[in-house]
Amino acid sequence: MADDSARRADLRDKVARLAELAARRGVDTIVLRDPAALTWLLGCRVNVPQTLDAACLDVVVHLTDGPRLRIVTNAIEAPRLRDTELAWLDGDGVDAPGTSWSVVPWWEARDAALPTTSGASVGTDRPLDGARDLSADLRALRRTLTPHQAVQLRDVAADTAAAASEAALGLEPTTSEYAAAGLLASALLRRGLDPVVLLVGGVDRLDAHRHPLPTAAALGRRGMLVACGRRHGLVASVTRIVSFAPLTTAEQDGYRRLLAVEQAFLDATRPGARLGDVVATGTAAYSAHDFDPHEWHRHHQGGPTGWQPREFPADPGSDVVLDAGQVVAWNPSGGGWKVEDTTLVTPSGCEPLVHDPTWPTLAVAGRLRPDVLVR
């Protein structure tokens, strides 16, 4: 299929990047064990359960005599991976590296099937006896999406936004936070998205709890839905607020001032910008728009994303330099309001991705930003 061919071609591109890294670091074999690195390489689900903590496979990338991949997994996961997640690897051998499998019994650790330093110079992203630590190099490598991944992320972001819209339209003031989370999870799953983060807050918790895990309490007059949807390993973050009564003038003003804070983050997000300087610009905007100058101390403001909800929360000391093809998600909050988007860094600036044309919007500095849905 055409899509499978595109995935194999994209894999070849990523393996070429790994080969360049291997040459710089003087290794001929790279072992990927970290879930974010595995999803970056393979574009599939690598976790059972669907968490971000441990993967059900490792990938050995042999870079001598032509690149070859070896999938190392156990006897439980191998049939499923071959039939579903990695079925697209079985191409004609022309547009993808050769692939082999090492399958161990479920009661044995996979480490014994991984290479050692005897006969090879090995680098890895998680501890492995005798291997060089390439974790920082691999994090930097995957931070910039391939063109194929950028297309995939746009689809993931649009579908995550549509799922949030669908869920919001099913809410009532009497809906419990748990039930709202169920509607959001259902809308994500129907679109083929894993709900890796689900937060819901009713009106009484919107300012006090910036990470409101759902409870049995009813939403009341206003509610907030927060989700991270994941597909092909790529993650999109979205926050949406629904009100069951018209906003007062003061409430409208508070939300618009927060969008002005977000604008400062987005305006500063461009190739060549130091991540910490973007944060400093954004956080300075709180006081400029009549928020407490320390409002940003109460919640992280976002950071690099793509393969995890956040690679790390960015702060003014973050020295990562942004480049085109990287992904960030900013989420300023204050006064009972929060706004969030997944944003692709482009050569001309940045492109917010989490947009649903059915959701009400406001124009802020030439960008369409989500408004509060009043029902």
> Using one digit for the tens of pLDDT, what is the confidence trace for 141-198?
999 999 999 999 999 999 999 999 999 999 999 999 999 999 999 999 999 999 999 9
Judgement on whether residues 27 and 169 belong to the same structural domain of the protein: no
Could you count the other beta carbons within 10 Å of the beta carbon of residue 169? Answer: 14
Query: 272: alpha, beta or left, given left = phi > 0 and alpha = psi -120 to 50?
Result: left
Judgement on whether residues 118 and 258 belong to the same structural domain of the protein: no
Q: What angle do CA 289, 274, 279 make, to 5 degrees?
A: 25
Asked if residue 310 and residue 176 are part of one domain, the reply reads: yes
Q: Does residue 201 sit in the same domain as residue 105?
A: no
Task: Judge whether 315 and 297 are in contact, CB under 8 Å.
Answer: no
287 and 369 inside one domain: yes
- 168 touches 351 (CB < 8 A): no
One-letter amino acid identity for 73?
Answer: T
Same domain, 136 and 157: no
Cα dihedral 74, 80, 84, 85 sign? negative
H or E segment and range at residue 194: strand 194-202
Q: Quick one: 110 and 160 in the same domain?
A: no
CA distances from 194 to 44, 189, 213, 219 (A): 11, 6, 17, 24
Cβ contacts of 354 within 8 Å, gap of 6 or more: 157, 158, 160, 161, 236, 237, 238, 340, 341, 342
**Spatial separation of the C-alpha atoms in residues 363 and 251, rounded to whole Å:** 18
Question: Which three-class secondary structure state does DSSP give residue 298?
Answer: helix
Structure tokens at 270: 């461009």
The residues, any chain, with a CB within 8 Å of residue 22's CB and separated by 6 or more, are 28, 29, 30, 63, 123
Q: Of 87, 117, 142, which marks where a domain is finished?
A: 142
Q: What is the pLDDT of residues 83-109, one digit of tens each?
A: 999 999 875 444 668 899 999 999 999
Instruction: State residue 359 phi and psi, 5-degree precision.
Output: -90, 140
Judge whether 226 and 200 are in contact, CB under 8 Å.
Answer: yes
Grouping H, G, I as helix, E, B as strand and the rest as coil, residue 370 is: strand
- 352: preceding bond cis by omega (within 30 degrees): no
116 and 181 in a single domain? The answer is: no
- Does one domain contain both 57 and 192? no
Residue 375's SS3 state is coil
31 and 160: one domain?
A: no
Q: Which domain holds residue 324?
A: 147-374
3-class DSSP assignment, residue 113: helix
Residues 256 and 206 occupy one common structural domain: yes
- Vertex 55: Cα angle to 54 and 58 (nearest 5): 130
CATH of residue 9: 3.40.350.10
Instruction: Render 24-66 in DSSP notation, one character per residue.
Output: HHT-SEEEE-SHHHHHHHH-S---SSS-SS--SEEEEEE-SSS
Which residues have CB under 8 Å from 312's CB, separation 6+? 303, 304, 318
Domain boundary (142, 175, 196) is at 142
Calculate the alpha carbon distances from 53 to 157, 305, 329, 353 in Å: 23, 16, 21, 26
The tens place of each residue's pLDDT in the chain, 375 residues long, gives: 558 889 999 999 999 999 999 999 999 999 999 999 999 999 999 998 776 678 999 999 999 888 999 999 999 999 999 999 999 987 544 466 889 999 999 999 999 999 876 556 999 999 998 899 999 999 999 999 999 999 999 999 999 999 999 999 999 999 999 999 999 999 999 999 999 999 999 998 887 888 889 999 999 999 999 999 999 999 999 999 999 999 999 999 999 999 999 999 999 999 999 999 999 999 999 999 999 999 999 999 999 999 999 999 999 999 999 999 999 999 999 999 999 999 999 999 999 999 999 999 999 999 999 999 999
Answer whether 304's CB lies under 8 Å from 314's CB: yes
Q: For residue 340, what is the domain's CATH number?
A: 3.90.230.10
| 3-class secondary-structure state, position 149 | helix
Are 223 and 201 within 8 A, CB to CB?
A: yes
Contact 198, 185 (CB under 8 A): yes
Q: Which of 116, 142, 168 is the last residue of a domain?
A: 142
263 and 340 share a domain?
Answer: yes
Q: How many domains does the chain have?
A: 2
